[in-house]
């Protein structure tokens, strides 16, 4: 028997084998209708039922307050960068802790008023700021941060002090990986292709009290109130991505929920950081307190060996370990769907590779 293959890509990320198997079985016939989910009408009672279940599971998993709204829409997290700025109003204050928060600020500046209140680019995005290191200008409309920087590999393990400003968070690459203080946020968004399924759908959690009226020229699909009124169906939704999201939420519950996954994710990340910390052969520049549990980027001390590392990793069943195209190096993305056995295999491979080439 060939050993299982593990896929460490940052996104689209691996799906649990059980979820893929269910999709394969159910694909020709959605819930006994004889029609495939790929062809299914979004206004049908069956799809409405799936929508309701999806929202209920999502609310349960994240303990979303009853007065908050949950929306599912296309456009990815990248569209939320602009949409959040258009709808929260006032001057946005941004903690720029990596490539994604820098993009969020850039998009916000295109459509609204926004500024960085802390910028980690000078230090190569290797650490997160303490709350004492930044201030909110008096005209701040909201504070935006990126909980986990997927490329830099830095993660906020505590919610930053928002000092009364509505708090907006990009949770794309860590949502459901551990409990979060949902009710401390005015807006949370996450595109699905990391921990929630496949690309094409984005989850948005919003406190309606935080919404302002967007500028008059705002297209209706960029106004959250239009989505609230239409219950996430102002136009044809990504039906299949929604279905996969529903499957991922059921799978997450079956794993024991967010608390159980958090414990597993801690163990997984610890395995890799232990290898990195035990050697000079591998280099991870991220400050230990800011380390991501989901994305572990590292370099080889001898950078000429990186191509060999990646080649031999593939031969060992460890795929998609190349770092982001902007940075090179190696990156292991170990989202919820990555089993502990996959991370153990990678850790063992890294030790063996060091013995051979170190
Ligand atoms: C992947 C990612 C994005 C981009 O998501 P799209 O769905 O491609 O727009 C944004 N923010 C973070 C933190 C990400 O990991």
149 burial (CB, 10 Å; 0-12 / 13-18 / 19+) is: buried
Of the residues 118, 119, 194, 227, which is catalytic? 194
Active site residue 100: yes
Report pLDDT for 325.
87
Range 78-109 burial, b when 16+ CB lie within 10 A, else e: bbbbbbbbbbbbbbbbbbbbbbbbbbbbebbb
Nearest Cα residue to 201 out of 146, 244, 234: 244
Per-residue tokens: 154: 């830095």
Report the interhelical angle of 257-277 vs 340-357 (nearest 10°): 0
Report pLDDT for 103.
98
Report pLDDT for 202.
98
Kindly state if the Cβ of 84 falls inside 6 Å of ligand 1.
no
Report pLDDT for 152.
96
Report pLDDT for 4.
78
Q: Which CATH number fits domain 18-254: 3.40.640.10, 3.40.1800.10, 3.40.50.10540, 3.30.470.10?
A: 3.40.640.10
**Predicted confidence (pLDDT) at residue 1 exceeds the cutoff of 70:** no
Report pLDDT for 48.
96
Query: Could you give the C-alpha distances from 310 to 130, 282, 317, 331, in angstroms and in order?
Result: 35, 14, 11, 10
CATH code of 6-17+256-357, in short, is 3.90.1150.10
Kindly state if the Cβ of 173 falls inside 6 Å of ligand 1.
yes
- When pLDDT is cut at 50, 70 and 90, the band that residue 3 belongs to is low
Nearest CA to ligand 1 atom 4: 77
Residue 280 has what DSSP assignment? S
Q: What is the pLDDT of residues 297-352, one digit of tens each?
A: 999 999 999 999 999 999 999 999 999 988 889 999 999 999 999 999 999 999 99
3 CA to middle of ligand 1, Å?
Answer: 31
Give the rounded percent of residues in the chain with a pLDDT score beyond 70.
99
Nearest CA to ligand 1 atom 7: 76
Report pLDDT for 326.
86
Residue 300 has what DSSP assignment? E
pTM for this entry? 0.97
Kindly state if the Cβ of 99 falls inside 6 Å of ligand 1.
no
| CA end-to-end distance (rounded Å), the chain | 31
**Predicted confidence (pLDDT) at residue 246 exceeds the cutoff of 80:** yes
Kindly state if the Cβ of 191 falls inside 6 Å of ligand 1.
yes
**Predicted confidence (pLDDT) at residue 257 exceeds the cutoff of 90:** yes
331 CA to middle of ligand 1, Å?
Answer: 16
172 CA to middle of ligand 1, Å?
Answer: 6
| C-beta separation of 176 from 258 below 8 A | yes
Nearest CA to ligand 1 atom 2: 172
Kindly state if the Cβ of 77 falls inside 6 Å of ligand 1.
yes
Q: What is the mean pLDDT of residues 37-63?
A: 97
70 CA to middle of ligand 1, Å?
Answer: 19
Nearest Cα residue to 88 out of 191, 4, 188: 188
Active site residue 170: yes
Q: State the chain's mean pLDDT as an integer.
A: 96
Domain ranges of the chain: 6-17+256-357, 18-254
- When pLDDT is cut at 50, 70 and 90, the band that residue 2 belongs to is low
Q: What is the mean pLDDT of residues 237-243?
A: 98
CA distance 120 to 104: 14
Q: What is the mean pLDDT of residues 54-60?
A: 98
């Amino acid at each position: 028997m060939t050993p299982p293959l593990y896929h460490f890509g940052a996104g689209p990320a691996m799906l649990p084998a059980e979820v893929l198997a269910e999709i394969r079985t159910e694909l020709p016939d959605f819930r006994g209708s004889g029609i495939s989910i790929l062809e299914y009408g979004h206004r049908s009672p069956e799809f409405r039922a799936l929508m309701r279940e999806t929202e209920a599971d999502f609310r349960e998993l994240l303990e979303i307050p009853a007065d908050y709204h949950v929306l599912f829409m296309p456009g990815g997290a990248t569209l939320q960068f602009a949409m959040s700025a258009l709808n929260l109003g006032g001057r946005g204050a941004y903690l720029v802790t990596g490539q994604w928060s820098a993009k969020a600020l850039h998009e916000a500046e295109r459509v609204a008023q926004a500024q960085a209140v802390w910028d980690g680019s000078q230090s190569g995005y290797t650490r997160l700021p303490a709350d004492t290191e930044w201030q909110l200008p008096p005209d701040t409309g909201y504070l935006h941060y990126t909980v986990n920087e997927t490329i830099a590999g830095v993660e906020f393990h505590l919610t930053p002090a928002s000092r009364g400003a509505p708090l907006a968070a990009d949770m794309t690459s860590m949502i459901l990986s551990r409990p979060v203080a949902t009710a401390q946020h005015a807006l949370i968004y996450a595109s699905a292709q990391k921990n929630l399924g496949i690309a094409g759908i984005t989850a948005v959690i919003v406190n309606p009290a935080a919404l302002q009226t967007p500028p008059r020229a705002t297209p209706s699909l960029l106004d959250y109130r239009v989505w609230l009124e239409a219950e996430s169906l102002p136009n044809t939704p990504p039906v299949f991505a929604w279905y996969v999201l529903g499957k991922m939420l059921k799978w997450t519950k079956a794993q024991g929920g967010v608390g159980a996954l958090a414990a597993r994710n801690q163990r997984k990340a610890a395995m890799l950081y232990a290898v990195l910390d035990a050697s000079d052969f591998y280099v991870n520049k991220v400050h230990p307190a800011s380390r991501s549990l989901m994305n572990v980027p590292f370099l080889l001390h001898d950078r000429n060996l990186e191509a060999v590392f990646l080649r031999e990793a593939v031969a060992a069943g460890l795929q998609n370990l190349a770092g982001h195209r902007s940075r090179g190096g190696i990156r292991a993305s170990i989202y919820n769907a990555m089993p502990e056995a996959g991370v153990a295999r990678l850790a063992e491979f890294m030790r063996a590779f060091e013995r051979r080439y170190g």
